[in-house]
Amino acid sequence: MKSWPFLRAGDRVDIIAPASHGPLDRLAKGKAWLEAAGLKVHVPEKLIDPDLFFASELRAQVSQLQDALYSESRAIWCLRGGYGSMRLIPLLKKIRPPTKPKLFVGFSDVTALHLFFQQEWKWPTLHGRTIGQLSVDGTSPDLEELRQVLFGEVKKCDYTGLVPLNAAARKAGTIEGTMAGGNLKLLQTSIGTPWEVRPQGKLLFIEDVGERGYSIHRMLEQLRQAKLLRPRALLVGDLTDGVEKDGSDKTMDAIQRIADEVDFPVMSGFHSGHHPDRNRPMPLGVKGTLRLGKNPRLTSVLSP
């Protein structure tokens, strides 16, 4: 895996919209946050030109991504998720990677691109807030943490307050592995594609939104039957908006059922994902160390 590219004041950030479109006021707020952090922001002409489910037609999205990859920028930041990022991967399979890796930021549907960059180009990437979730008026502490991660003011991310969900997670010990994962639906969608998730021997992080308990279980069960659910540990982030018709929420019941059936540690309490008030940055493609037992902790190291 290549080195983590920390940013410096004055660096250029390219904004792309590889998935769905969104309100332009969110683009303005996100751009203002990046500029307040000391970065120069480049927004392509016609970033948003809605085409069915997508921010723009495929040719325009491909052009945006290709321009961003070969520009003088040091980072590529996604406007939002939704649906559509996987359509760009056939292009990526045909082109040469830039000489130096760029910091790629986003989450949700953008998980498809995270998987490609990590597995094919060996780039570390950052699972974190999209442009549409950035705001100079935001009060969530994870926004300051995100800024510190971007500029290398912190060289590692620590996650505490974790909850062991099975015997393997409660047993004292330490596990090391490369951080991988993202949106569970996209991990399932990758099965059988050239960018299929490869979590074997890694610390696999998952999160999702709008999926009820049975759907969470079904996705994990498919990964298991496809012989892909073989990580060193499973790290469960926020699973939001999965309420049943009767008002109950069985998402964590589904996770617990899987945890009881596997022999690797399953740990919850990672506050990354679609929660409306929080989305901690989760570095992927970097080394992670998971301490099990009492006072569990995950530390992911950002290598300059």
Residue type for position 113: L
Torsions phi, psi for 241 (to 5 deg): 55, 40
The active-site residue out of 108, 140, 268, 300 is: 108
Tokens of 107: 């989450």
For residue 291 the two structure tokens come to 């301490």
DSSP 103-142: EEEE-GGGHHHHHHHHHHS---EEE---GGG--TT---HH
Active site residue 207: yes
- Rounded distance between C-alpha atoms, residue 233 and residue 163, angstroms: 13
Backbone angles phi, psi at 107, to 5 degrees: -160, -170
Closest CA to 197 of 211, 179, 212, 209: 179
Residues 28, 19, 79: CA angle, nearest 5 degrees: 20
Catalytic residue among 140, 274, 275, 300: 274
42 is catalytic: no
196 is catalytic: no
Tell me the C-alpha distance between 54 and 79, whole Å: 12
- Beta-carbon-side half-sphere exposure of residue 227 (alpha carbons within 13 Å): 0
Do 251 and 211 contact (CB within 8 A), yes or no? yes
Pairing of the two strands 125-127 and 156-159:
unpaired
- Output the six-digit token pair for 58: 């495929």
Provide CB contacts within 8 A for 148, sequence distance 6+. 154
The one catalytic residue in 114, 127, 207, 275 is 207
Residues in the chain: 304
At 267, phi and psi to the nearest 5? -130, 135
* Residues with catalytic roles: 108, 207, 274
